[in-house]
Amino acid sequence: MFRLTMDLRSSAQLLGIDPRSFLEYAEREHLGGLLRFDDQWMVSIFTLAHLLDTSSEELLEVIEDYALGELMDAVADDDVMEGEASWQAYQGYLKGAE
């Protein structure tokens, strides 16, 4: 299932502030949607959307776009094969799996 909370560090990063400042603000303002499990703070995405004056749907789209960009950057330097070279590599993988 998809999580509807983010850790404190990621939430603060999304807001552009340091985690300690965000936690102090949240406690001072009695911010709803701030949860503490064991020693880890979590923040509701609905609370973050409210703070950013946007909808949770828009916030999730931005987060998804960012995550997709991170994944794309992670493989940007990977080798790319086309045509016959890709077929030969595939055949090599199949032989190795036998």
Widest Cα–Cα separation across the chain: 63
DSSP string, 29-56: TT-TTEEEETTEEEEEHHHHHHHTTS-H
In this predicted structure, what is the pLDDT of residue 33? 94
Look at residue 50 in the predicted model and tell me its pLDDT.
95
For the segment 51-67, the average pLDDT, to the nearest whole number, is: 91
User: What pLDDT is recorded for position 85?
Assistant: 84
Average pLDDT for the chain:
89
Judged against a pLDDT cut of 70, whether residue 1 lies above it is answered with no
- For residue 96, what pLDDT is reported? 77
Instruction: Give the burial class of 22: count Cβ atoms within 10 A of its Cβ; 0-12 exposed, 13-18 middle, 19 or more buried.
Output: buried
Handedness of CA 38, 41, 47, 48 (dihedral sign): negative
78 vs 14 pLDDT, higher one: 14
List the 34-37 sheet strands across, edge first: 5-7, 40-44, 34-37
- Compute the average pLDDT of residues 62-83: 84
Reply yes or no on whether the pLDDT at 70 is more than 90: no
**pLDDT digits over 21-49, tens only?**
999 999 999 999 999 999 999 999 999 99
